[in-house]
Amino acid sequence: MTENRELHPKVEKSFELIGKRWTGLIIYVLMSGPKRFSELSETIPDLSRRMLTERIKELEEHGIVVRNVIPDRPIRSEYSLTQKGTELGKILGPISQWAESWVKD
């Protein structure tokens, strides 16, 4: 692999973001479609609500997740991946396949 010093900071920043605990799993779960906060919380039971809130905010700031307000009564919010998030999620699919083959429970 050739080293590109101009690319290095971007790659490092990317790995830092997706390497944070729970971030990849949140993106992976959202690949199946929009989810309400409670659905995300139920799908990832070991993830605290406080940490889920923190990670969702970070992903929103990076343009990976978007919060959609549904104006029904009562008003609800759903989280979904942006195009940028979907592209990132496509990369996580092969990682999950690798995990199924190589990571022990």
Neighbours of 65 (CB within 10 A): 21
Task: Give the SS3 label for residue 47.
Answer: coil
The residue among 6 and 91 whose pLDDT is bigger is 91
CA angle 22, 71, 32 (to 5 degrees): 35
pLDDT of residue 84: 97
Mean pLDDT of 36-51: 96
Fold of 8-102: Arc Repressor Mutant, subunit A (1.10.10)
d(CA 54, CA 57): 5
d(CA 7, CA 3): 8
d(CA 65, CA 83): 9
pTM listed for this prediction: 0.85
Measuring CA to CA, which residue among 81, 68, 71 is closest to residue 32?
A: 81
**pLDDT digits 0-9 by tens, 6-37:** 668 888 888 899 899 999 999 999 999 999 99
d(CA 42, CA 54): 16
Domain definitions of the chain by residue range: 8-102
**pLDDT digits 0-9 by tens, 46-78:** 999 999 999 999 999 999 999 999 998 888 999
